[in-house]
A = this chain, B = another copy of it.
Amino acid sequence: MRLSPAITELMRALRTLPGVGPKSAQRMAFQILERQRDAGLQLSKALAEAIERVGHCSVCRTLTESEICELCANQNRREAGLLCIVETPADVLAIEQTGQYQGCYFVLMGHLSPLDGIGPEDIGLDTLAERLAQEPISEIILATNPTIEGEATAHYIAELARQHSINTSRIAHGVPVGGELEYVDQATLGHAFSGRKRIDFDLF
Q: Provide the residues of chain B in CB contact with A49, threshold 8 Å.
A: 6, 9-10
Asked if B90 contacts A26 (CB within 8 A), the reply is yes
Q: Do residues A43 and B92 form an inter-chain contact, with CB atoms below 8 A?
A: no
A interface, over-half SS = helix
Query: Contacts A42-B16, A50-B10; is A30 near B70 (CB within 8 Å)?
Result: no
Q: A12-B46, A18-B27 are in contact. List 10 more A-B contacts (CB 8 A).
A: A3-B93, A4-B53, A4-B65, A9-B49, A10-B46, A17-B28, A18-B28, A30-B89, A33-B63, A34-B88
Q: Write the residues of chain A forming the contact surface with B, with a CB cutoff of 8 angstroms.
A: 1-7, 9-10, 12-14, 16-19, 24, 26-34, 36-37, 39-51, 53-54, 63-66, 69-71, 88-90, 92-93, 96, 109
* Alpha-carbon gap, A4 to B52, bound state (A): 13
B44 close to A51 (CB less than 8 A): yes
Which residues does chain B contribute within 8 Å of A46, judged by CB atoms? 6, 9-10, 12-14
Within the assembled complex, what's the spacing in Å between the Cα atoms of A2 and B63?
12
